[in-house]
Structures are given as C-alpha cells and as structure tokens.
C-alpha cells in the first residue's frame, strides 16, 4: 500500500473519530448523573489500580507487567458489555487511603510503662481522633531497627500515590542514619518525617520536637527532701545529653534548700553504664546490689531512676522489697512508694504534632515544648498518709509556686 493511501485512510479514520468525539462531547454536555457516577468510578478504579501497583512494586513485582494487567482489567471493567450492563469493581471494597502514621522506637523500648508507651498512646489517640492508619514498630535490636528504617524510607521514597504518610522516629539510636537520609523523602510530597526528641533540627526535610526536661527535674529535686533526706539517683550513662541534663537539674534542685536543711541529707549518683547506648536495661541482681549496698543513715530513702526501661526493674524490686520510695520519671506511677513524678506529656505533644501535620498550616519545622508550655510538669500525688502529711506540712502553695517559677527560669537559661 502506498504511503499516500495509508495517510488518506488514516485521515479518514481520524475524521470519523473526530466526528465521534464531537458527538460525544455534545453528549457529554448533556450527560446525566449516572454518567458522572460512571466516570467517577472509572477514575477511582484507575487510582486504586495505581495504588495496588505501587504496593506490589514495593514488594518486588515487575511494574510493567502489572501495568499491562491492570490496563486490561480496566478496559474489561469499564467496557465489557453484556447487553447494556457495565460491570465495575465495588468501590466500597477498596483499600483505605487514610493517612498512615508509622512510628519506630528504640530497641525494646515499647512496653516500658513510661515514655515510649506514652508516645504509643499519643499516636493511637490521634489516630482515633483523625481516622488515621498506624503502624508502630518496636525492634528487638538496633540492626532490626535499621532494617525497618531502611524499608520505610524505601517505601516512602518510592510511593507514587497521594496517600499522606508521616514517619515518626521516636528513637535516638538511629540519629546518624536519619540525618544522612532525611532528604531522600523530598521526592515525595506526601511523605513527612518527625524526629523526636532532639534539640537539633534536621537539615532539609523533616520536623523535630523537643521537650526540655530541665525544669521538671529541677522541681523534682527541689521537693525530694520532703520525702527523704537520702537520695539515690541511678542514671543510664553519663554520655547522653538528656540524661546529663536530667541529672544536673535534679541535683541543682535538690541542693537548693527549699525545704528545711537536714544534716542527714545525702545524695548519691550511680551510672549503670559508661557507654552512650548502655544502661537502659539492668539485671535483677545488679539492681538489687545497687539498691541495697548503701549504708544509709536514716529510715527514708528516695530512688530516682533516670535510666529508661531499667527504671521498671528498680520499681519492681522496690515494690517487692520495700526500703525505698521512688520518683516517677516521664510518667506517673500509682503506688504507695511513688509520691511524686516528673512527667513528660509526650503523648499530648505527639498528638499535637499529628494534628498540626494534618492541618492546613502544617507542623512547625522545630518545636520546643517545656515546663512553661505545660508539656512537662512535676505531679505531686502522695498515696500514703505519711506522704500526704509531709507534703501538706512542708510544701506550701507559695513554696510550690516559687519552685515552679525558679524551674521555668532555670529551664529557659539552660535552653539558651
């Protein structure tokens, strides 16, 4: 066939098609609700198929093969005719497109009955309020955590859909990886990162949150002598900034004589580890030795656990063995042995961040929420009569206010 003949034939076909299109445009102008529904269903189906492809691709399936399969399915779904019936997939039977919040914790951190569990609760509460999907990852080892981290980054980087995703890294263990890889998410407008807690904002993509604890721990140190003149502070290690800050603040508060000075006052600090990642778990035998090796001079001792998950071991032993009262750190503890707590409302802070992320205004690049903002505080919750009496006699409202104001000021100075 001559080229000219082919061109003519094609031109003819195109002309016919143009005519058909014109006819359809004319019809479209008059299309009724039913047709609009049809089109919406088709568009939804295309979108759904694209999401399915993305998910399958992220799981290692060949994109081209899937694209072809879904295109054919689409054609069949949209156009298969049995008389005048068009078969279309049930739109109610499609995967959720609700925003997804993924959280990763430090190894074995979840279930600590404190800080990490509060984050979990904050995320779940936000999910309930805003109708989000969640996935919270609690690795057993740092290696497993890094594997999770890599997988989530890959998926968020590769995602082609418009599902909003927020990845919350609630762990200090992966700081290096995070700061080296956060910019990979810039390829996806729908993917965001929230790193907590850090006082150093991320360069490039990603939000950060920091709850300074200086003020609340200062307050805890200040009221500690009300309960006991002798204090044992057990800290995870002397390398981590947040631990150092808590120890310093408590010490400063304790040594500022807000309540009557006592000759028997004694303050012992012990570290569980020298290493930067050590001291967040402790064996029963070690904890027993640390608790009961001291030659205390009085009958009242207070233990302050600044050691994350290891704190639960000390609390458990004290509940069984007695001999100490203890300070709740990060979260309150309902116990006759726990008269007051330095609390971080990280649950509320995380829920706030998620709300900001979903809002039109968005989340601030870096947020600091401390004692003055109400996101950390000293909660006095005496349980026994003796504790209640001690607080009522020694911790007047005026003194409490003075300690609070000092703590706010100290925190502000420290944060400078």
Under rule CB under 8 A, which residues in 133-172 are in contact with another protein?
133-140, 144, 148
Residues 274 and 323: their CA atoms lie apart, in Å, by 27
Give Cα separations from 323 to 299, 309, 329, 370 (angstroms). 8, 21, 19, 33
| Per CB under 8 A, 65 contacts another protein | no
Give the three-class secondary structure for 195.
strand
List the one residue from 19, 95, 158, 283 that touches another protein (CB under 8 A). Answer: 95
The answer to whether 124 contacts another protein (rule: CB under 8 A) is yes
Nearer to another protein, 144 or 257 (CB): 144
Our CB check for another protein shows the closer of 88 and 356 to be: 88
Window of 122-130, 180-188, 197-205, 293-301 that interacts with another protein by CB under 8 A: 122-130
| Tokens 């035998």 found at | 285
How many Å apart are CA 114 and CA 249, to the nearest integer? 20
Q: How far apart are CA 408 and CA 226, in angstroms?
A: 21
Q: Which of residues 5-64 bind another protein (CB under 8 A)?
A: 10, 13-14, 17, 20-21, 24, 27, 31-32, 34-35, 37-38, 41, 48, 52, 55-56, 59-60
Task: State the Cα angle at 174 between 173 and 178, rounded to 5°.
Answer: 155
Closest residue by Cα to residue 411 from 218, 231, 215, 274: 215
Residue 86 Cβ vs another protein, minimum distance, rounded to whole Å: 5
Helix (H) or strand (E) holding 267: strand 266-271
Interface positions, 308-347, toward another protein (CB under 8 A):
312-313, 315-317, 319-321, 334-336
Taking CB under 8 A as the criterion, the residue among 70, 115, 117, 167 binding another protein is 117
Pick out residues in 254-283 that bind another protein (CB under 8 A): none
Bond before 325 cis per omega within 30 degrees: no
**How many residues at the interface with another protein, by CB under 8 A?**
76
The least CB distance from residue 79 to another protein, in Å, is 4
- Measured from the Cβ of residue 306, the count of other Cβ atoms closer than 10 Å reads 30
Span from 131-139, 248-256, 269-277, 298-306 in contact with another protein (CB under 8 A): 131-139
131: Cβ–Cβ under 8 A, 6 or more apart, which residues?
A: 98
Is residue 384 at the binding interface for another protein, with CB under 8 A as the rule? yes
């Amino acid at each position: 066939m001559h080229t000219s003949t082919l061109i003519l034939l094609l031109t003819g076909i195109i002309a016919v098609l143009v005519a058909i299109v014109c006819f359809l445009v004319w019809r479209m102008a008059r299309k009724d609700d039913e047709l609009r529904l049809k089109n919406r269903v088709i568009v939804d189906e295309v979108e759904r198929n694209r999401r399915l492809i993305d998910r399958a691709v992220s799981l290692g399936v060949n994109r081209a093969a899937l694209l072809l399969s879904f295109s054919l399915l689409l054609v069949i779904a949209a156009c298969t005719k049995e008389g005048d019936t068009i078969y279309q997939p049930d739109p109610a039977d499609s995967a959720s497109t609700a925003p997804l919040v993924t959280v990763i914790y430090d190894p074995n951190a979840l279930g600590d009955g404190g800080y990490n569990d509060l984050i979990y609760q904050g995320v779940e509460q936000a999910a309930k309020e805003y109708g989000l999907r969640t996935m919270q990852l609690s690795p057993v080892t740092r290696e497993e955590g890094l594997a999770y981290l890599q997988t989530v980054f890959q998926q968020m980087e590769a995602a082609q859909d418009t599902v909003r995703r927020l990845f919350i890294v609630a762990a200090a263990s992966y700081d290096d990886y995070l700061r080296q890889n956060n910019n990979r998410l810039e390829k996806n407008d729908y993917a965001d990162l929230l790193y907590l807690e850090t006082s150093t904002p991320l360069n490039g993509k990603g939000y950060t949150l920091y709850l300074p604890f200086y003020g609340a721990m200062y307050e805890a140190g200040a009221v500690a002598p009300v309960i006991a003149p002798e204090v044992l502070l057990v800290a995870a290690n002397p390398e981590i900034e947040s631990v150092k800050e808590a120890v310093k603040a408590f010490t400063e508060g304790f040594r500022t004589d807000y309540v009557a000075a006592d000759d028997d006052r004694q303050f012992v600090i012990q570290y569980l580890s020298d290493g930067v990642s050590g001291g967040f778990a402790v064996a029963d035998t070690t904890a027993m030795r640390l608790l009961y090796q001291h030659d205390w001079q009085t009958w009242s001792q207070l233990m302050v656990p600044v050691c994350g998950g290891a704190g639960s071991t000390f609390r458990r032993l004290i509940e069984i063995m007695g001999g100490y009262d203890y300070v709740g750190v990060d979260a309150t503890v309902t116990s006759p042995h726990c008269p007051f707590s330095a609390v971080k409302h990280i649950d509320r802070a995380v829920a706030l961040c998620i709300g900001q992320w979903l809002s039109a205004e968005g989340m601030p690049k870096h947020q600091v929420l401390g004692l003055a903002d109400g996101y950390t505080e000293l909660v006095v919750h005496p349980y026994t009569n003796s504790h209640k009496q001690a607080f009522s006699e020694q911790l007047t409202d005026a003194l409490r206010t003075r300690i609070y104001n000092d703590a706010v000021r100290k925190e502000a100075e420290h944060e400078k």
